[in-house]
Amino acid sequence: MTYPAATTAPKTVLITGASSGIGEATARRLAAAGHQVVLGARRVERLAALAKEIEADGGSALPHTLDVTDPLGMRSFVQAALDHYGRIDVLVNNAGVMPLSRLDALRTDEWDRMIDVNLRGVLHGIAAVLPTMTAQGGGHIVNVASVSGLRVDPTAAVYSATKHAVRALSEGLRQESRHLRVTVISPGLTHSELAETIADRDTKDAVAGQMAIAIPAAAIGEAVHYAITQPAEVDVNELVVRPTAQG
């Protein structure tokens, strides 16, 4: 049987949380493959430095300040991409926070922050790009979830709830469209700045002890590249990428 080759046509790809970790690694991987990347994050100086590096290597990158909890800011991010490149092929909803703690610690502000960034931020991204993708007759939304969306561990109840929700809304979106591709990528232990958002000292120390087996963020960037470069009729719905040693 002969399988169709993955497409290599350049795409315009919007990436949230692009200033570090998985977002940065994904931007570098896709730009190296010839795609045009639009970089969104709050730390605009880091985005500018990343865009400069990408362009010095022959790629195309547009940095734009973005707070995913602000729907107007998300729409501005999308409009900047349209103004600069004329279309939107892929949105990578990557921005996230992970301030783990036991529920009885009652860190309710942290619960709200996880819901705002990890879930509402994804919804804001979907809402901002759907009209354009519908008008174009196609597009691809990649939502970065977590293996915590497949299981629940102590201290991760709220974080897991947000990632379970991302998987649920992704499946709903997929079923509602016959022209839109939807992919969920669930990383396991990965080197990023997520652990730095943990304020609970005991939990932070426990997570730090697990990071010896973590995989590089580039592994997730490679998974995104794989998903978006498949032929248009192929929708890679879910990829779980974790260290071989992770239980």
Catalytic residue among 3, 85, 159, 226: 159
Count Cβ atoms below 10 Å from residue 71 Cβ, excluding itself. 16
Q: Quickly tell me which residue has 């943990």 as its tokens.
A: 198
Q: Quickly tell me which residue has 């790809």 as its tokens.
A: 13
Distance CA 227, CA 8 (A): 12
Phi, psi of 187, rounded to the nearest 5 degrees = -75, 150
Q: Is the dihedral of CA 82, 86, 91, 94 positive or negative?
A: negative
Distances (CA, A) of 135 to 9, 128, 138, 174: 20, 13, 8, 17
Distance CA 88, CA 36 (A): 10
Token pair listed for 218: 């580039």
Clarify whether 159 is annotated catalytic: yes
Catalytic amino acids?
159
